Amino acid sequence: MEKKKIRVHVLSHTHWDREWYAAFETFRKRLLNLIDSLIENLPENPHFKHFMLDGQTIVLEDYLELRHQKKDELVEFIREGKISVGPWYILPDEFLITGEALIRNFLIGKSVLDKLGIGGNVMKIGYLPDMFGHSAYTPVILKGLGFEGAVLWRGIGDKSRKTEFLWKAPNGDEILVINLIRSYSNGAHFGRDIELMKSVFKKEIEELSKHATTENILIMNGTDHEFPLFNLPERFQEWSEEFGAKIIHSSLQEYLKSVKSQKPELKTVEGELKDPKYEPVLKDITSTRIYLKLMNFEAQLLYQRYLEPLSTLFFNEENSLPNEIEYGWRLILKSQPHDSICGCSIDKVHRDVDLRLSNALEIGLETLGSYLKKLSDEDTSENEKSLIVYNPYERERVTVVKGIVALDPSKNYVVVDEEGNICETSIEPLNPLETVDLLHRVGDNDYIQGSSFITQYITAISPNVAFGIKPVRISFMAQLPAIGFKKFTIKESEITRSVDDVSTNFENKFYYFKLNEDGTFQAFDKQNNTLYEKMNFFEDVADAGDEYNFSPIPDDRAIASPKNVRMKGVKNRGFSKEIDLLVEYEIPEELTNDRKARSERTVTVPIEVKYILFRDEPRIDVKLSLQNNAKDHKLMVGFHFPEKLDQVVNDGYFGLVKHPTSVEPDESATEEVTSRYAMESFVSLLGEKGKLLITSRGLHEYETQITNEGLDLKLTLLRAVGWLSREDLLTRKGHAGPGIPTPEAQCIGRYNYRYSLRFLGDGSSEEMFDASRRFLLDPVLMETSEDTKIPTISFFELEDGIHLSALKISQNKDAVIARFLNVSNVPRKISFRKDVEIVNLAEEPTGKIISEFVLESGKVLTVKSSK
């Protein structure tokens, strides 16, 4: 039988890092030259049929901001299919963002094209060419957006060595993947002339033919910031005859169509893709420049769970502020490319990222204050103040509400709910300057709790200070409705409340707590009859790595014992107890000049620890505030689990991901294989007896270590390094980028963290997601008047196990979008108070109208309401 001729699709493209080893404006100048060159040369080179602008539409904004006079020409090339763009706004990292952020990435990316009148020309292929591994739940999003396929590199390992495969998420959603086995640069010219390119193509055809699933192979003719060779396609006919193959200038869409037309039998690959067998996945970017991770987490949470749901209350009103929300999202998304949010660029770049995230938080907080102010009226009586409390969680709950109000600190007060029930109340003085400073306390959700006060502070508090009215921090126990509002009143009281127990011991019906001399604690979980003896220990090791990877030094010994522990105080509110202490560690100042040992000079790293213990919950919250004064090190906080486990589970975009607690080393891999993983917000240890959940606000990196007594799990608090890339690491082969010094990546300064430990019952996925959200989604309060009407925000009722993923105004601002996830192991029902339409993740209608829906386990449902 005659062998069929291989069809070689050559895709000319550029991979555009907006910022990396140079700052944005430096690379933008090159982008201007690149697109100018396309506009000038495409008409004159008929053989050059197509160019791909890296799958992100932000490059169009970057270009047209300074070349607006060329808009019509550029748009026409896109409309004709000469240039392909999208589907994303930016090319993100997949492990440091939420699934909702990835969906916003598409929606805003497509809106760029819509505004140019070419929304129908968006490339419907999930182009993810240089992410540092791929999330297990990315197929859910790609399928939900209606994509025809995906393009991946990095992390696939031996799961597939074919040019195509099917990628399946844990919930069963799958999508066809184009596997860039030889990278997105296998046909780049790198400054070579065309004769040298001939030998490159010949080699690639030979190599890729061994892995092809059909008669089609793909050569990626481009690389980072590369310009096209416009005369290259003129040689394809000649080379086709010489190589015995059919070489064409093509596009991803054409290649995917050709592959699908042959209906190949494809292997199914499941779950997370983060194998460094053939290319580095650069896994330690999850802890580089930790301040960016903390800010990004808080910004995403603020927009997804506070601003977007509240905006739906004012749908169809002129002042619903959707532009503020989209502007903030754009700032967040501009911070989420892998070179940006991962912290692996030059210092100037990360000063810019820091500023963007700070601005996103600032405008978000102002918008939150505006929404709450629209619901309130400051005309309150002299002796009573009314409060409105918003619960962002989609479950009813009894919880502690905290906030800041203006009261006379010389008087006693109590909070009363609408039914006249007295709430346990605690009021503490607060300096006004401290309140304003809340805006800068990233890693501590006080900034959300204080945001509603900021607006009032400017207009009301400052002049009132002279009259004895001062800001105070108020805390009270409250029963709150699901994702809704409740009114309370602050009344003067003759009762002086005091709690005598100020010991460092604590016990409730769920556990007892005992503080150890070294600042760690032990706890006995009564429900599971399990003793945890060494919890919240700190461990510091040398780090001779770079912004991409941790690397140890020979014969390093971890520093795990503090030089000093000092009690600072105990505060007992009755419904909670806080224990404050200072733990100081003596740490070598830096590495020696040969980078093989730690210096003899030491510095003190003080860590302020606050344990928050709750009377009515099986939960221990921890707040840390540390001053990093050392360089070239990694600092972790650890928890000892008294059982040996084969696996741990953490959350991903839309469900759980399992990871082994120990792995076999692979010397052939491009990067160290180790039991260090990325989580979105929580990780669980589920033993035969003990069951422990750890939820964190912005700490994404954890590692596991089997010990004689059980298992240690450690969260990375920070990595302090001084180089963008180095080639002398023990954990990676060769460079990952240019060898540029990055002194600001040493992260000298103060950092605030907040995480929570919860003793679980059955350890089900339902329980894990519920417990983590109860920690993450704090209520927020605002002063109001007695006549304020309580609005209704939700139009649905959820069975247990159904969680809200999004509640927002649609991208085109004509409806309200709600998205739900079933985290349970069985089907669960959603009931709607009116008819809604099912839409996909791209908010495109399906025509199916429902009033209730049974959602299968692990599945996602998105609906549209005209409200």
3 state DSSP class of 775: helix
| C-alpha Rg value of the chain to the nearest Å | 28
Q: Residue 459's pLDDT band (boundaries 50, 70, 90)?
A: very low
CA–CA separation, 264 vs 202, rounded Å? 24
Res. 469: pLDDT tops 70 = no
Res. 204: pLDDT tops 50 = yes
Given 437, 471, 496, which residue is the final one in a domain?
Answer: 496
Strand order in the sheet with 701-706: 506-507, 511-515, 521-525, 530-542, 633-641, 711-720, 701-706, 676-678
Shared-domain flag, residues 87 and 223: yes
Query: Of residues 448 and 110, which shows the higher confidence score?
Result: 110
Residue 614 sits in which domain range?
A: 506-643+694-756
Residue 124 lies in a domain: yes
Instruction: Render pLDDT for 699-738 as a digit per residue (tens, 0 to 9).
Output: 999 999 999 999 999 999 999 999 999 999 999 999 999 9
Tell me what percent of the chain is helix, strand and coil, each rounded to the nearest 5. Answer: 25, 35, 40
CA–CA separation, 812 vs 383, rounded Å? 46
Query: Of residues 766 and 406, which shows the higher confidence score?
Result: 766
Residue 681 lies in a domain: no
Instruction: Render pLDDT for 110-124 as a digit per residue (tens, 0 to 9).
Output: 999 999 999 999 999
Q: Residue 3's pLDDT band (boundaries 50, 70, 90)?
A: low
* Res 377: pLDDT: 60
Residue 204 lies in a domain: yes
pLDDT above 90 coverage of the chain, percent: 86
Paired strand residues for 859: none
* Res 382: pLDDT: 53
Beta strands in 599-646 (DSSP E): 602-614, 619-628, 633-641
Residues 39/74, Cβ–Cβ less than 8 Å: yes
Q: Domain of 72: which CATH number?
A: 3.20.110.10
* Res 617: pLDDT: 98
Res. 336: pLDDT tops 90 = yes
Shared-domain flag, residues 608 and 589: yes
Q: What one-character-per-residue DSSP string does 745-765 give? A: GG--EEEEEEEEEEE-SS--H
Residue 773 lies in a domain: no
Report the residue count for the chain. 867
Residue 686 lies in a domain: no
Helix (H) or strand (E) holding 666: none
Q: Residue 369's pLDDT band (boundaries 50, 70, 90)?
A: confident
pLDDT above 70 coverage of the chain, percent: 94
Shared-domain flag, residues 233 and 339: no
Q: Domain of 448: which CATH number?
A: 2.60.40.1180
Shared-domain flag, residues 410 and 391: yes
* Res 193: pLDDT: 84
Q: Domain of 857: which CATH number?
A: 2.60.40.2220
Res. 449: pLDDT tops 60 = no
Res. 694: pLDDT tops 90 = yes
Number of domains in the chain: 5
Shared-domain flag, residues 609 and 534: yes
CA–CA separation, 131 vs 140, rounded Å? 17
Q: What is the mean pLDDT of residues 146-157?
A: 98
Shared-domain flag, residues 358 and 415: no
* Res 867: pLDDT: 65
Instruction: Render pLDDT for 853-865 as a digit per residue (tens, 0 to 9).
Output: 999 999 999 999 9
* Res 1: pLDDT: 35
Residue 76 lies in a domain: yes
- Residue position matching structure tokens 């532009």: 323
Q: What one-character-per-residue DSSP string does 232-292 give? A: GGGGHHHHHHHHTSEEEE--HHHHHHHHHHT-----EEES-B-B-SSS---GGGGSBTHHH
Res. 452: pLDDT tops 80 = no
Res. 608: pLDDT tops 60 = yes
Angle, vertex CA 376, rays to CA 371 and CA 382, nearest 5: 145
Res. 150: pLDDT tops 50 = yes
Q: Domain of 352: which CATH number?
A: 1.20.1270.50
Shared-domain flag, residues 719 and 834: no
Q: State CA 557 to chain mean position distance.
A: 32
CA–CA separation, 573 vs 514, rounded Å? 18
Shared-domain flag, residues 80 and 161: yes
Shared-domain flag, residues 489 and 511: no
Q: What is the mean pLDDT of residues 534-544?
A: 99
Mean of the per-residue pLDDT values of the chain: 93
Q: What is the mean pLDDT of residues 465-476?
A: 70
CA–CA separation, 99 vs 453, rounded Å? 31
Q: What is the mean pLDDT of residues 124-150?
A: 98
Q: What is the mean pLDDT of residues 97-104?
A: 99
Shared-domain flag, residues 78 and 99: yes
Q: What is the mean pLDDT of residues 286-307?
A: 97
Shared-domain flag, residues 250 and 199: yes
Q: What is the mean pLDDT of residues 417-437?
A: 78
* Res 502: pLDDT: 78
Q: Domain of 627: which CATH number?
A: 2.70.98.30
- Residue position matching structure tokens 């309401």: 865
Residue 826 lies in a domain: yes
Given 279, 304, 319, which residue is the final one in a domain?
Answer: 279
Residue 689 lies in a domain: no
* Res 785: pLDDT: 75
* Res 762: pLDDT: 96
Res. 570: pLDDT tops 80 = yes
Shared-domain flag, residues 597 and 622: yes
Instruction: State pTM to two decimals.
Output: 0.96
* Res 484: pLDDT: 95
Res. 787: pLDDT tops 90 = no
**Cα separation values, 445 from 276, 331, 619, 711, 725, Å:** 36, 20, 17, 30, 34
Res. 453: pLDDT tops 60 = no
Q: What is the mean pLDDT of residues 600-628?
A: 98
Instruction: Render pLDDT for 244-254 as a digit per residue (tens, 0 to 9).
Output: 999 999 999 99
Given 496, 514, 529, which residue is the final one in a domain?
Answer: 496
Q: What is the mean pLDDT of residues 450-454?
A: 41
